[in-house]
Amino acid sequence: MSDDVLARCQEIIGYRFSDPLLLRQALTHASAAPTRSESNERLEFLGDAVLGLVVCQYIFDRDGELPEGEMTKIKSSVVSRRTCARFSNNLGLTELMSLGKGIGTARTLPPSIPAAVYEAVIGAIFLDGGFEEARRFILSHIAEEVDDAVRSRHQKNYKSLLQQHAQREWDQTPQYDLLDEKGPEHFKCFEVAVRVNGRQYTSAWGPSKKEAEQKAALAALVELGLIGPEQGAE
């Protein structure tokens, strides 16, 4: 790995390493490392823990009224392999990785590999510059994700929350299908179901298409385990 790659990476992440060897290791996949201990796997393990702590603290400090269950669900929806992979790809970290022959290109890698390099970089920053530098790096990408998730839960905008989850996990947008409608023109009810990632979820009825879509989104969130059934009744 050239010094130019390391310099470019430091410019991208907005942090200059005292020990560039840590960054070199963070960008080295096991397939390209002489030994497993020289790959980014150990740094990924550390970075995952730091990422979880930073996100949990941010959620905790951001809203003093969120119960434990809600904070857990927000954290789970924000910190995922897909989310970390998206950050890695958007920053260009994936393209800077050292990969072994036959592992593929940055465009064809499974999400676990770009996610791992993102977490490994967090681990490297933590070891080199401490918790505050790692926290700054993480929040520069993830604070907005948390804010959107909290805002959606407060507003009970189930369509928005489902869309955020679908885009993070599957890079897809939910589709709403009108299945049926009943009643006279001035008093119709509509049945809607949502489809995403190859699955159609339980349909829901509403006095308008918009409300039926919200209820269908809620049904999908409940089935996905992101919202408890009792929340929709509140």
Q: Is 191 a catalytic residue?
A: no
What tokens were used for 228? 């408890």
Distance CA 107, CA 215 (A): 36
Q: Considering 48, 70, 128, 145, which one is annotated as catalytic?
A: 48
CA distance 7 to 23: 10
Q: How many CB atoms lie within 10 A of CB 7?
A: 13
User: Which of the following is catalytic: 44, 70, 119, 128?
Assistant: 119
Could you write out the DSSP letters of every residue in 94-148? Answer: HHH-B--TTS--TTT--THHHHHHHHHHHHHHHHHH-HHHHHHHHHHHHHHHHHH
**Hey, what amino acid is at 220?**
A
Residue 119: active-site member? yes
CB 61 within 8 A of CB 220: no
User: What is 74-106 written as a DSSP string?
Assistant: HHHHHSSHHHHHHHHHHHTHHHH-B--TTS--T
Just list the catalytic residues.
48, 119
